[in-house]
Structure 1
Amino acid sequence: MNLYMTSGTYDFLERLAGKHAEEHMVLMSGEEGALLLHETEGKTVFASPRKYEVLESSGSLGRPGLVVMNNIPVTDEGRPVFEYRFKNRAGKIENTPGFQAIRVLRPIKSNTYVILTAWDDELAFQRWKESAEFGKSHGHSKPEAGPSIFSGQPYITKYSISESE
């Protein structure tokens, strides 16, 4: 499965999604503007998308709510380590109240992985962050010897999915 992202104005992306109603696309808006996601086994209809391979998927995207993307720059050498750690993380998110979906996205042409989660609302996300499960999955063990697997500081972007009109 692949996931593609493209940015633009909400109106433009809404029209684009409408032209391809047979495809699974999710339109959302945030502080930086609008974002359109396209999940597919095949190619995308986007002209210049950000491209990702879906490593892990649970739940369905597209219901109204909050989408949180944890963007994590990883070195080329660190990719296998990062993926291994993520697959073997403690504190599963799927049973958290208010959870809708997760996508673990491996970048195709960049170094920034995206951990995309969808929630019923901001309160559900905040409760997850304050939970024991979050602490387990984001626990800080002692630093490992050797170079860092990260090539930059992670950052969060948030979007909202509105009711369809």
Structure 2
Amino acid sequence: MYTYITTGTYFFLKKIEEKHPDEDMLLMQNVETALIWHETNGPTLFQSPRKYEVIHSSGQLEKNGFVACNHIPVREEGRPVFEYQFAERMKKVESFPGFIAFRLLRPLSNDTYVVMTMWEDEKAYNDWKQSPSFAESYSKAIHSAENNNVFSGQSYVSVFVLDDEKSDDNE
């Protein structure tokens, strides 16, 4: 399975989503940007997307919720260690209240992995971040990765909301 991500204005991306109703796409937005997340075994529909291989997943993606994407640059030689540690670490999140889905994406054209978690809402995500389970697993993963010189740069998190407009009664 592959994930292709493209960015643009919300209204432009909404037209793409509407043009391809049979594709597994999520339209996400935050205050800075909007993006479409397209999961498929086939080719991409986008002209120049960011391309990833889904190497670990759990849960079903939904049209409503809150998404956190951790973008983590990883050295080529550190990929096996990183992939194993994050797959193991994410087993703890799967049973956390409010959890919906998880994807670990291996980059196909750069060094930056995406670790995506989907939540019922922002509160569920923040509750996870404040949990002892998160603190323990995060500390172990970072300590081990730093000792193995896995990272090639600084990581960052981007957050998005999803809102299925079909729930609006204004039309």
TM-score normalised over the length of structure 1: 0.92
Residue in structure 2 matched with residue 55 of structure 1 by the alignment: 55
Report the 3-state secondary structure (helix = DSSP H, G, I; strand = E; otherwise coil) of the residue aligned with 1:87. helix
Tell me the secondary structure at the aligned position of residue 17 of structure 1: helix
**Structure 1 match to 2:100:** 100
CA distance in 2, matches of 1:26, 1:113: 19
| Pair 1:40–1:142, CA change in 2 (3 A) | closer
1:1-165 aligned at under 5 Å gives the runs: 1-89=1-89, 92-140=92-140, 148-165=149-166
Other structure's SS at 1:14 match: helix
User: Does the Cα contact within 8 Å between 1:90 and 1:133 map onto a contact in 2?
Assistant: no
Supply the AA of the counterpart residue of 2:68: V
Say if 2:145 and 2:151, in contact at 8 Å, map to a contact too. Answer: no
For each residue in 1:81-102, what CA deviation from the matched residue of structure 2 results, as whole angstroms up to 9, or x when unmatched? 1112223337611111111110
Give the deviation of 1:78 after TM superposition. Answer: 0.9
1:130 to partner: Cα distance: 1.1
Contact 2:78–2:148, Cα closer than 8 Å, also in 1: no
Alpha-carbon spacing, 1:60–1:130, altered in 2? closer, same or farther (3 Å): same
Q: 3-state DSSP class of the match of 1:88?
A: helix
Residue by residue, what CA displacement relative to the aligned partner does 1:102-121 show, whole Å, maximum 9, x if unpaired? 00000000100000011111
Which residue is 2:169 aligned to?
none
Q: 1:80 offset after TM fit, Å?
A: 1.3
The 1:145/1:103 distance shift into structure 2, 3 A limit, reads closer
SS of the residue 1:11 aligns to: helix
Seen in structure 2, the aligned counterparts of structure 1 residues 63 and 142 have a Cα distance that, compared at 3 Å, is closer
What root-mean-square deviation, in Å, do the aligned CA atoms of Structure 1 and Structure 2 show? 1.9
> Structure 1 121/76 Cα, relative in aligned 2: closer, same or farther at 3 Å?
same
1:19-61 residue CA offsets vs partner (Å, 9 max, x unmatched) = 1111111001112211001100111101100001001111121
Tell me which amino acid in the other structure corresponds to 1:162. D
Report deviation, 1:142.
5.4
Counting aligned pairs with the same residue, the percent is 47
